[in-house]
Amino acid sequence: MFIGGFYGMDIYFLMFVVPALLFSIAMQIMVKGTYKKMSAIGNARHLTGAQTALRVLEFYGVRDVRVERVSGRLSDHYDPRTKTIRLSDGVFGSATIAAVGIAAHEAGHAAQHANSYMPIKIRNAILPVCNIGSSLGIPLVILGYLMSFDFLITVGLALYALIALFQLVTLPVEFNASRRALHVIESQGLLEGDAYRGAKKVLTAAAMTYVAALVVSIANLLRFMMRFQRRR
Ligand SMILES: [Zn+2]
């Protein structure tokens, strides 16, 4: 009963979480729309995503990173454990504006890793603790609520806040990868004029989804704080 009501509607859900979710959905729509638009336009140099990634790696002097194809849509990522950039079907072999932007961004992550970029180190260091927070935070809040044990609620909320902290540290990492990407795209003339601005739009839209994820976490945190700390 309590747990059922826990996730149900309450005034704080409407006040905080609903606007945050609407913002998040708007950002998802924006990134998909921008990606679709910029995937329909070929780039003048006929550079594929894979070729772009290699150009960016070369620019930053990274020699031990592989570029592979991965299935899915917008599933592109850099895997630091295997030092592999994985580019999705729409990016790997596509010579579009979106492909250049996204591939360069993932190569930007590889360059961060190779250069021991500090926010990445901080993020990796706090990752294990944040994983505990994401799996234990809310169960502890519920337990504390059922047992009327406020200390447990506070600990649960603090653990839950670690998720938001992780998402916060993710932001400079994402913005920096895009900055590195755009720097190479511009200085090496991979894209010019409207094409460059198009790639920048794709990367900005993608970054906004990370901002939205943080906003949703903060909204949930506020909601739980207002709802469960209020009884004091
Ligand atoms: Zn990224």
Q: Report pLDDT for 1.
A: 37
Give residue 3's pLDDT band: very low, low, confident or very high (50, 70, 90): very low
Residue 190 CA to ligand 1 center (angstroms) comes to 20
pLDDT (0 to 100) of residue 4? 45
Find all residues with CB under 8 Å of 77, minimum gap 6, and list them. Answer: 70, 85, 86, 106, 109
pLDDT at 5: 52
* pTM, full prediction: 0.89
Percentage of the chain modeled with pLDDT above 90: 71
Q: Tell how far the Cα of 76 is from the centroid of ligand 1, in angstroms.
A: 9
pLDDT(85) > 90: yes
Flag the least confident range among 5-14, 74-83, 123-132, 190-199: 5-14
**What confidence tens digit (pLDDT) does each residue in 193-217 have?**
999 999 999 999 999 999 999 999 9
Q: For residue 176, what pLDDT is reported?
A: 97
- Tell me what the mean pLDDT of segment 219-223 comes to: 91
Closest C-alpha to 225, from 148, 165, 163, 158? 158
Q: What is the mean pLDDT of the chain?
A: 91
List the catalytic residues. 106
Q: Rounded to the nearest whole angstrom, what is the distance from the C-alpha of residue 104 to the centroid of ligand 1?
A: 10
Q: Specify the pLDDT at position 40.
A: 97
> What are the residue ranges spanned by the domains of the chain?
2-229
Strand partners, 70: 88
Taking the chain, what is the end-to-end CA distance rounded to the nearest angstrom? Answer: 22
Q: Are 202 and 97 in contact (CB under 8 A)?
A: yes
Instruction: Indicate if the pLDDT at residue 134 is higher than 90.
Output: no
Of the candidate ranges 48-57, 114-123, 207-216, the one whose mean pLDDT is the lowest: 114-123
136: CA distance to ligand 1 center in Å?
27
* 89 Cα: distance to centroid of ligand 1 (angstroms): 17
| Tens of pLDDT, residues 86-112 | 999 999 999 999 999 999 999 999 999
- For residue 16, pLDDT over 60 is answered with yes
Residue 18 Cα to ligand 1 midpoint, Å, equals: 26
What is the four-CA torsion angle of 117, 118, 119, 121, rounded to 10 degrees?
90
Output 66 or 3, whichever has higher pLDDT: 66
Instruction: Summarize pLDDT for 65-79 with one digit per residue, the tens.
Output: 999 999 998 899 999
Q: Ligand 1 centroid vs 232 CA: distance in angstroms? A: 41
Query: What is the pLDDT at residue 31?
Result: 95
Residue 129 has a CB neighbour count (10 Å cut-off) of 12
